[in-house]
A and B are shown apart, each in its own frame.
Chain A
Amino acid sequence: MAYSQKVIDHYENPRNVGSLDAQDAAVGTGLVGAPACGDVMKLQIKVSDQGIIEDAKFKTFGCGSAIASSSLVTEWIKGKSLEEAAEIKNTTIAQHLSLPPVKIHCSMLAEDAIRAAIRDYKEKHPSA
């Protein structure tokens, strides 16, 4: 399978690989996918008091497109508000990375990961 230049770049030089302290009140963690399906993404966000995503980290088990999708979204969500981040669509990710149809689910997983991380953060801050 031929990968786009952008996928290769994110695969070879992934941005924001790592972990944040899941116990930290300012951190939201999303864990999506399933080992049995061949893809698992962990996406974490650190949110400021103003509700802005200050930092984002990911770890992904999956194909190159899954790694690239998660790396890309960590770049995109930094500096965004939770509302703005929640609006990122898999189609935008897939388009940016020129993913072929069989790889669309990798970008859907990245979208799910953002939402899951936001949900986790909001659960820690019911009033926010």
Chain B
Amino acid sequence: MVKRPIYLDYQATTPCDPRVLEVMLPYFTEEFGNPHSRSHAYGWKAEEAVDYARKQVAAILSADPREVIFTSGATEANNLAIKGVAHFYKDKKNHIITCSTEHKCVLDSCRHLEQEGFKITYLPVKSNGIIDLDDLRGAITDQTVLVSIMAVNNEIGVIQPLAEIGKICRDAGVFFHTDAAQAVGKIPLDVNAMNIDLLSLSGHKLYGPKGVGALYVRRKPRVRLQALINGGGQERGMRSGTLSTPLCVGLGEACALAQTEMRAESARLKALSARFYEAIQGSLEEVYLNGDANQRIPGNLNISFTHVEGEGLMMGIKELALSSGSACTSASLEPSYVLRALGVEVEMAHTSLRIGFGRFTTEEDVDTAAEMIIKEVGRLRDMSPLWEMSRQGIDIKSIQWAEH
């Protein structure tokens, strides 16, 4: 049997925890009832399970269960939050603020609204990946209905100052939505303390199943949404359609496990990341961490290996499953827009790897990964004309390159 690569791509997705799967299974078979069936025990049992899951999801956010809407994932939750608020309040206000490093599903939702005539401000980020709060203050007008800023970035792992953003928004009477797909279960979140009005999360980013997520929608002061999906009026009319009991149950259990284990797990991941980064730093020159060194989740490292192209590097470390900020694979051949937004030079963006550690990463995995990366970067630098020139003291930027 071929040994599978070591999985270091926990920001792309996580495996479903076996403990989560176990509680889901009965709801595929024996407990198959429609949670919206009111007239018999099959429905009641399913409804009870969904209610319990809703409590578990609410608990990790310090929210009320009545404020949780189940969705198909964070993409849908983000679409619902942004388009839903924009459309509901469109007669009063027409301006939304977001930032340039958001996930594609937020940016694309905003683009669609722009085409409908809404005004969107895309805040820049500082070189550490974090927004400038003064920029935010300056961007809010009396037309602003919503600020949507992600909690944790999926490529570089930096944490935005949620409590400060929440305070600014509350004081200005603007709703605050945060895409917390990469944050839930990794950092403590409290929708009341942080003045968050809407929050998106995703099952498969926190060791739950794929195809389920949730949107938190504040009740007091009430946030109103225009539904994207119309029908039987489930989920307080904000998201029609029969809920998948097993998926909801799985998401709830995943939240409960994450909540219980977060402290210990964060400390463990922090130690693993430090161990990895020290090994790399100790053996290789000119490696740079992208994104703030401290304001970041413990399991993510985004590193540029100067003068080594990311896709070429990944080919040499096939035994590791991770992703690169180089876009040589993509049709556009544009490197990561997130790194570009930080002001990382295009060349450096091409040399980056995103390394994600998670619940099932061992110290041995980390050591093996560091060793392989160090070896391969060394080999490719020996093969890199840019590395050779920089060793000879030639300024790469002084050369007239023929960009294509």
Q: A34-B402, A38-B326 are in contact. Are A63 and B315 (CB under 8 A)?
A: yes
CB nearest to A59 among chain B residues: B385
Interface membership of chain A positions 82-111, coded 1 if the CB is closer than 8 angstroms to chain B and 0 otherwise: 000000000000000000001001000000
- How many whole Å from A76's CB to the nearest CB in chain B? 19
Contact yes or no, A1 B329, CB < 8 A = yes
Nearest B residue to A41 by beta-carbon distance?
Answer: B385
CB–CB A60/B382 < 8 A: no
Contact between B385 and A11 (Cβ–Cβ < 8 Å)?
Answer: no
Residues of A within 8 A of B347 (CB): 35-36, 38
With contacts A61-B307, A105-B404 taken as known, whether A67 is within 8 angstroms of B312 at the C-beta atoms is yes
The reply to whether A36 and B384 contact each other, CB–CB distance below 8 Å, is no
Shortest beta-carbon distance from A91 to chain B in Å: 17
Most chain B C-beta atoms within 10 Å of own C-beta, residue among A31, A32, A38, A64: A38
Give CA–CA (A61, B383) in the complex, Å: 7
Given contacts A17-B382, A32-B402, contact A64 B346 (CB under 8 A): no
A39 CB contacts on chain B under 8 angstroms = 309, 328
Also in contact, A35 and B386, with CB within 8 A (given A11-B315, A11-B316, A61-B307): yes
Closest Cβ of chain B to A119, distance in Å, is 13
Measured CA separation A42–B401 after assembly (Å): 12
> Number of contact residues on B: which range applies?
20 to 34
Interface of B is mostly: loop
Residue from the set A1, A35, A64 with the largest chain B CB neighbour count within 10 Å? A35
Contact of A37 among B311, B312, B403 (CB under 8 A): B403
A116 CB to nearest B CB, Å: 10
Take A14-B383, A60-B384 as given contacts and tell me if A66 and B312 are in contact as well, using a CB distance cutoff of 8 Å: yes
Give the Cβ gap from A12 to chain B, nearest Cβ, in Å: 8
Asked if A34 and B403 sit within 8 Å, CB to CB, the answer is yes
Q: Whole-angstrom distance from the CB of B339 to the nearest CB of chain A?
A: 13
- Chain A hits for B396, CB < 8 A: 35
Residues of A within 8 A of B1 (CB): none
Contact size range, A: 20 to 34
B335 at the interface (CB under 8 A from A): yes
Check A59–B383 contact: CB distance below 8 A: yes
Contacts of A31 in B (CB 8 A): 385, 399
B residues less than 8 Å from A105 (CB atoms): 333, 404
Beyond A34-B401, A36-B347, A36-B401, whether A42 also contacts B315 by CB under 8 A is no
Q: Are A35 and B350 in contact (CB under 8 A)?
A: yes
How many Å lie between the Cα of A8 and that of B325 in the bound state?
Answer: 22
Cβ contact within 8 Å between A63 and B311: yes
Q: Which residues of B contact A38 (CB under 8 A)?
A: 309, 311, 326-328, 333, 335, 347, 350
B385 touches A42 (CB 8 A): yes
A6-38 Cβ-contact flags toward B at 8 Å (1 or 0): 001001001001010000000000011111111
Contact assessment for A37 and B385 in the assembled complex, using a CB-CB cutoff below 8 Å: no
Contacts of B404 in A (CB 8 A): 33-34, 37, 105
List of B residues within 8 angstroms of A63 by Cβ: 309, 311-312, 315, 326, 328
Which residues of chain B are near A59, meaning CB under 8 Å?
383-385, 388
Q: A79 in the interface, Cβ–Cβ < 8 Å? A: no
Residues of A within 8 A of B345 (CB): 36
Output the least CB separation between A16 and chain B (Å).
Answer: 11
B308 lies within 8 A of chain A by Cβ: yes
Question: B346 → chain A, closest Cβ, in Å?
Answer: 4
A residues within 8 A CB of B383?
14, 17, 59-60, 67
- Chain A residue with minimal CB distance to B311? A63
Docked complex Cα distance between A31 and B403 (Å) = 12
B331 contacts A by Cβ under 8 Å:
yes
Question: Is A40 in contact with chain B by the CB < 8 A criterion?
Answer: yes
Chain B, 294-335, contact with A by CB distance < 8 Å: what is the 0/1 string? 000000000000011101100110000000001111010101
Minimum distance in angstroms from A30 CB to a CB of chain B: 11
Taken together as a complex, chains A and B put the C-alpha atoms of A126 and B333 apart, in Å, by 38
List the 9 shortest-distance A-B pairs measured between CB atoms, nearest first: A34-B401, A35-B347, A42-B385, A59-B385, A38-B350, A64-B315, A36-B346, A63-B311, A34-B403
List 6 A–B pairs whose Cβ atoms lie within 8 Å, in order of A's numbering: A35-B401, A36-B346, A38-B326, A40-B385, A59-B385, A102-B329
* A35-B396, A38-B335 known, 19 other contacts, Cβ within 8 Å: A11-B312, A32-B402, A33-B402, A33-B404, A35-B386, A35-B401, A36-B401, A37-B403, A37-B404, A38-B311, A40-B401, A59-B383, A60-B384, A62-B309, A62-B312, A63-B311, A64-B315, A67-B383, A105-B333
**Chain A residues within CB distance 8 Å of chain B:** 1, 3, 8, 11, 14, 17, 19, 31-42, 59-64, 66-67, 102, 105
